[in-house]
Amino acid sequence: MVEWLPLFTRPVLVDILLNAWRYQQANQGLQLFGYVVLENHLHFVAQAPALDKCVSSFKSFTARQIIEALENANAESTLERLRFVKRLHKSDRVYQVWQEGAHAELVWSEKVMRQKLDYIHHNPVKRGYVDVGEHWRYSSARDYEGQRGLIDIQRWC
């Protein structure tokens, strides 16, 4: 998220992310192993035949949907911030939602996978939002504790 704007305090905007992942799972071979959505950023661990294209299309599609939702909600101050940030980076659009690039890390072993999942699931705890990761609504931590999450994931062990 550009400038760490707290866009994901709005459930409708989180739903855009979840629906995009669902689409990619059904149509682009995305396997989502874990995720967490916080108020101003997200983390996910995934695999796909063309993961770079999945991430690019995810960012592009969700940015358009987020802008449309903000326009429909007359969220002018937020839109103005996104317009301002765009001027620094892009010349071909009006707004910028996501930071440039993807911050991908290779997960090459079971130990590293466990570290990544533990890290993302612990994010809401570290911030003091919940006492245990599975209590955070927008996280796959609940799936790893035997509860049903908001989106299907491919459990890692």
Domains of the chain: 2-144 (3.30.70.1290)
Tokens 């796959």 label which residue? 140
Name the region of 155 (left: φ>0; alpha: ψ -120 to 50; beta: rest).
beta
Q: 10: which DSSP letter? A: S
pTM over 0.85: yes
Q: Report the mean per-residue pLDDT for the chain.
A: 92
In whole angstroms, give the CA distance from residue 72 to residue 81.
16
In degrees to the nearest 10, what's the CA dihedral of 130, 134, 136, 137? Answer: -150
Helix axes of 51-72 and 76-89: crossing angle, nearest 10 degrees: 140
DSSP string, 101-133: S-------SHHHHHHHHHHHHHHHHHTTS-SSG
Structure confidence by residue, pLDDT tens digits, 116-157: 999 999 999 999 999 999 999 999 999 999 999 999 999 986
pLDDT for the residue numbered 89: 63
Tokens 């995934």 label which residue? 46
